[in-house]
């Protein structure tokens, strides 16, 4: 059976998350339903990461085994037709070897979290960013973030419902970009690691926001990490600012 990889973009607001769930809309369910319109029978697709309800993606990767050797362009066009009107798009499609696995072959995942600081309500970006009203200190947040880069036990920064076998992960990068807007500022948190724990990114960003607001000192982030206690974490920020924006493989299946 030919195996295909898909690069997928979606707006997470209408969905209960990536993973198929009984009685609730999911991104996985929408794509599998579209596949069933092209080839009869149930389909199961595997993704690089299971994003939560309300979380977006600009470059999620998934794979599926199909009965027919489709032309990749025609396959993506047909899927996009059947995905209407859901806010999901197949932006790239490619045949891959049988041993390619969207999740287990991945060597890194990249997330972006968008936070806008301004007094007036956001309009065009509503549902796509987390808005805070108070000023934030980017340098203080960068100092706090520096304590989290590297190989650590991230028990403090993972959900109590996390199913990972170990809380120990290597966080390769946290980069905080500050963009001056006409009426406020946008802070873009770029995080990169081989894999992440459940709610790890939102827990980290929520904690760093407290540092930026002056409620925490940068050194408090180190103390929270070393506590290895979920109760030591700062507030978990809302999902709408989070994007899965890249997945790295030994060989890029899309040739980019």
Point out the residues that are catalytic: 52
**Which stretches of the chain are assigned E, i.e. beta strand?**
3-10, 46-47, 56-65, 88-96, 108-117, 130-132, 150-153, 168-181, 184-193, 242-248
CATH number at residue 86: 3.30.70.580
Instruction: Tell me if the bond preceding 85 is cis, omega within 30° of 0.
Output: yes
Within-domain flag for 71: yes
CATH number at residue 123: 3.30.70.660
On whether both 127 and 202 belong to a single domain, the answer is yes
Residue finishing a domain among 50, 70, 105? 105
Residue finishing a domain among 88, 105, 122? 105
Per the structure, the count of domains in the chain is: 2
On whether both 66 and 172 belong to a single domain, the answer is no
Q: Is the pLDDT of residue 68 over 80?
A: yes
Q: For residue 243, give the 3-state DSSP assignment.
A: strand
Output the pLDDT for position 233: 98
Could you read off the pLDDT of 118-162 as tens digits, one per residue? 999 999 999 999 999 999 999 999 999 999 999 999 999 999 999
Could you read off the pLDDT of 199-253 as tens digits, one per residue? 999 999 999 999 999 999 999 999 999 999 999 999 999 999 999 999 999 999 9
Q: How many residues does the chain have?
A: 256
Output the pLDDT for position 256: 61
Domain containing residue 190:
108-246
Q: Is the pLDDT of residue 16 over 80?
A: yes
**What separation in angstroms does the CA of 187 have from each of 1, 55, 152?**
45, 17, 25
Residue finishing a domain among 105, 140, 170? 105
On whether both 79 and 121 belong to a single domain, the answer is no
pLDDT level of residue 18 (50, 70, 90 thresholds)? very high
On whether both 159 and 140 belong to a single domain, the answer is yes
């Amino acid at each position: 059976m030919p195996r295909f990889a898909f690069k997928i973009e979606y707006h997470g607001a209408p969905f209960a998350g990536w993973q198929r769930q009984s009685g609730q809309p999911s991104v996985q369910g929408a794509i599998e339903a579209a596949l069933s319109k092209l080839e009869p029978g149930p389909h199961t697709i595997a993704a690089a990461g299971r994003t939560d309800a309300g979380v977006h993606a600009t470059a999620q990767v998934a794979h599926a085994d199909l009965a027919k050797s489709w032309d990749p362009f025609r396959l993506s066009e047909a899927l996009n037709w059947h995905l209407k009107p859901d806010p999901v798009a197949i932006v790239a499609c490619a045949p891959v070897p049988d041993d390619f696995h969207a999740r287990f072959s991945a060597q890194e995942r990249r997330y972006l979290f968008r936070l806008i600081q301004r007094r007036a309500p956001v309009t065009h970006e509503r549902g796509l960013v987390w808005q805070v009203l108070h000023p934030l200190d980017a340098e203080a947040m960068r100092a706090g973030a520096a304590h989290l880069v590297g190989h650590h036990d991230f028990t403090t920064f993972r959900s109590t419902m996390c199913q990972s076998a170990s809380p120990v992960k290597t966080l390769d990068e946290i980069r905080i970009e500050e963009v001056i807007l006409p009426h406020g500022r946008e802070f873009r948190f770029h995080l990169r690691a081989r894999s992440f724990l459940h709610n790890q990114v939102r827990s980290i960003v929520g904690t760093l926001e407290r540092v930026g607001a002056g409620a925490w000192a940068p050194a408090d982030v180190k103390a929270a990490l070393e506590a290895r206690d979920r109760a030591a974490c700062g507030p978990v920020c809302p999902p709408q600012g989070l994007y899965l924006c890249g997945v790295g493989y030994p060989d890029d299946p899309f040739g980019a």
